[in-house]
Structure 1
């Protein structure tokens, strides 16, 4: 698919194994880097959502009866087909999301890896046997699928965040109705076609595109939906949880983050600075697990601050389809304006602007939502950069006197998603990992998420786990069975 092909893209919903013609209300999708029209997608009504959910509900019993091994084989075929179509999907993801070609390729190679990972776990899902509950009486605990899962996915990583849910949900015998963000529908719609062509039975994966207040709420409140898996902002997640409470639906929430990085005196400072730069500016800083606050020991602060600021200043800002671009646009005008407010207020609070802090002056970027990579030193501890989730390419750095201060400041946030510490001391790293209030801590490592490890947050960052075998607990119900061997 060429860039020219993308610009006229028009798609309806994907229900019961087939795309539907575009009809009724529609969404107009634009390229965040150029402002150009990408295409139109359906804006689902409550009736459309009902059709998708009923399709998933009808398909679920047969899908569950296939068993883990057969479902694993189908997931493996889906992963292989997905990987084979990456080159087709790259320009589509770049056009609707805005990210660079390199970042799109990274995302689109990671997503099928997650499907393949869960396909490989098809023989690892086990129940429990309890012998001798009483004379002649044994017990078993089995896992049963929940039924129809609503997978609600944001715009920053449309395919990886979807596959985080698809992998365990489908392997466990559930069917899925996915709702991508209303600004990034196309890659998800095409992916549903690819997976169905690879062997996913009709109705096992349906896609409804549309707005949160209409399509999203209809999906979350539908009586046949038994589980809602949501990734997005904390305020929206709390609203979703409240809606899902009616009907006692299962819910997992992967919400916002303000991830701290602590850099100690004995750290490999060059690697720590590189990890901070990559962790903050990847995907234009639009990631829940981005490094959003850096606390560096005063004795080594000058070297670290200089290195991070220099790296930020060298990043090439450009339209996602530019192969030389290293930093694409923010996804929306509202996102850009929010970032400007946060940066300006943090500088006004006493922060020192080291690099960036404005929109680029390049006329070629004037129609996009671009912002220069920005580094601010020592803004006030109650400034927006310190207390809010900052979803953009701006990094605050604070000097700290010791580890106690660093841990206290790191934990002062309402969020608790990820964190990292850089030190050569085993004692220091173990203490920090144990005391930070978050669901994930990297020690001397870039902030890469692994399918093998459970991922999820604390506090305002949500609850429940994705990835790892722990994800099965959130897509199955454990049922107790008592067997009396003799009458």
Structure 2
């Protein structure tokens, strides 16, 4: 089978009214495991953004006039093409993003779910017949597209965190301008563009503009853009929100997390330590939903630590493209330095390394820290690396207080032998998501997803939530005949 990217001249180009040269030059795509250059894409600048948003605004009205079934059919075609070409999408996630094959397959499966759910949106009811206070008047409320939606996506799950906004936005009649992260500009940019191009999306409705901060800032400030859907760090999200707010556009911010996995004293510790290892170490801990704080009741803390450390020590780390490994590389040197700093400072403050704590090149060993307190860097900061800090608490009340002792509020998980006990505890947690007898890393295309506090502004992704994200209400009244008024 000829691969999707082999069918077009994409190298060194960006996608905006077809594949064309970028004003900002070119970007190298580098494999973090080896340092090899995998390809090049066009690097967008502010001029590219302005041209793309103008063209998107021009193309969007005719797309919105398409019937719901027609838009749905295109999204279904994209899903079918992805299903037929998933090996290509997975390989780029492994090589460009440092994902192990299982994570890459999981991400592509999530993308397929998002596409199928988005395809169901355009044929759902899109308005209400309202009561009216005046005889002879019909009153309706209907959903209408926003116009042009700007999407800024990160490098850690580059395909799903792009498509979960692109697909519903297009399905509901919008045009989209995507700014993927420069580090995964092929897997999260060029491939996504090619997917929708192959599905037959008309020109002008999707623009993919890789680059650094310049195109992101230009997109957030552009008056032609009605909404920004941003996924990334809390620090950058605050900047995006401030810039976008000056033009009063809608902003959906899905930001960082410092998530708690609470282990109660009636939990099955073999299962709980497995959930803890998966939650802490999947994709090298580079996930906003990572279990970044393991809060364990003191009566079972020693055994939990022993089991978790044993699991960490047995997880192989290496090049996911050429070796059978559980963890691949961190994305870059900056991320490695930050992870190592947090671990080093936490140990200097009195914590103990029970597993890991060392690295070679970008390969950081899965690490378990004991004796962590609420004042230490590994507790207070989002690590975004394969580190499991374990905090010991006396009882459930202290577990809730410690879990809530953070500015973040994305997700929490609870391990317990009693579902009712877990649900009771969950009511006290200030997070947008809670999982009982599970780990923190879960995503369903049909479930509302989002956090509170420094984890986001309360916006939600997910099939039904997409109506609130990517459309706005319009109230329309009509009379068969006009009539006069007292003035």
Is TM-score (shorter-chain normalized) higher than 0.5?
yes
Partner-residue secondary structure (3-state), 1:462: coil
Q: 1:343 and 1:311 mapped to 2: Cα distance?
A: 19
| Aligned equivalents of 2:33, 2:235: Cα separation in 1 | 27
Instruction: Return the alpha-carbon distance in structure 2 between the equivalents of residues 136 and 409 of structure 1.
Output: 60
Question: In 2, distance between residues paired with 1:309 and 1:294?
Answer: 12
Find the residue that maps to 2:363 and give its secondary structure.
Answer: coil
1:474 alignment partner in structure 2: 469
When residues 210 and 263 of structure 1 are mapped into structure 2, their CA distance, relative to the original with a 3 A threshold, is same
Match of 1:233 in 2: 233
TM-score (norm 1): 0.93
2:63 is matched with which residue? 63
Give the alignment partner of residue 438 of structure 2, picking from 445, 469, 473: 445
| RMSD (Å) for aligned C-alpha atoms | 1.9
* Partner in structure 2 of residue 455 of structure 1: 449
2:45 paired residue number: 45
CA deviation map 1:431-459 (0-9, x unaligned): 22221111001111233111111011100
Identify if the C-alpha distance between structure 1 residues 39 and 85 changes in structure 2 by more than 3 Å, giving closer, same or farther: same
Contact 2:68/2:123 (<8 A) preserved: yes
In the alignment, structure 1 residue 131 sits paired with structure 2 residue 131 = yes
Secondary structure in structure 2 of the residue aligned to 1:225: coil
Q: Using the TM superposition, name which of 391-400 and 25-34 deviates more.
A: 25-34
Distance in 1 (CA, whole Å) between partners of 2:37 and 2:21 is 20
State the Cα distance separating 1:9 from its structure 2 match. Answer: 8.4
Distance 1:9 1:470 in 2: 34
Question: Which position in structure 2 is the counterpart of 1:312?
Answer: 312
Aligned to 2:194: 193
Aligned residue for 1:13?
14
TM-score by length of 2: 0.93
Contact 2:71/2:122 (CA < 8 Å) preserved in 1?
yes
- For residues 280-329 of structure 1, the C-alpha deviation after alignment (integer angstroms, 9 at most, x for no partner) is 11111000011111111112222221111111111110112024011001
Displacement of 1:50 in angstroms is 1.6
* Residue 430 of structure 1 pairs with residue 423 of structure 2: yes
Alpha-carbon offset, residue 201 of structure 1: 1.4
Query: Deviations along 1:6-28, whole A, 9 cap, x unmatched?
Result: xx983311012x21146752223
Separation (CA, whole Å) in 1 of partners of 2:294 and 2:76 = 40
Give the SS at the match of 1:106.
Answer: helix
Q: Aligned partners of 1:323 and 1:429: how far apart in 2?
A: 39
What is the aligned partner in structure 2 of residue 211 from structure 1? Answer: 212
Tell which deviates more after alignment, 197-206 or 334-343.
197-206
Give the direction of change, closer, same or farther, for the CA distance of 1:11–1:106 in structure 2 (3 Å limit). Answer: farther
Change (3 A) 1:358 1:125: farther
Deviations 1:74-125 (A, max 9, x none): 1111111122111122222222211122222221222122111111233224
Q: Residues of 2 paired with 1:427 and 1:24: CA distance?
A: 56
Deviation, 1:129, is 1.9
Residues 249-264 of structure 1 correspond to what in structure 2 (within 5 A)?
249-264=249-264
Secondary structure (helix, strand or coil) at the match of 2:331 reads coil
CA–CA distance in 2 between the matches of 1:179 and 1:110? 20
Q: Is the 8 A contact 2:316 2:327 kept in 1?
A: yes
Correspondence for 1:363: none
4+ residue runs of structure 1 moved beyond 6 angstroms? Answer: none
Range 477-486 or range 261-270, more displaced: 477-486
Give distance in 1, aligned partners of 2:300 and 2:138. Answer: 62
Unaligned runs of at least 5 residues, structure 1: 361-365
Partner of residue 144, structure 1: 144
Report how far residue 142 of structure 1 moved: 0.6
Contact 2:144 2:471 in 1 (8 A): yes
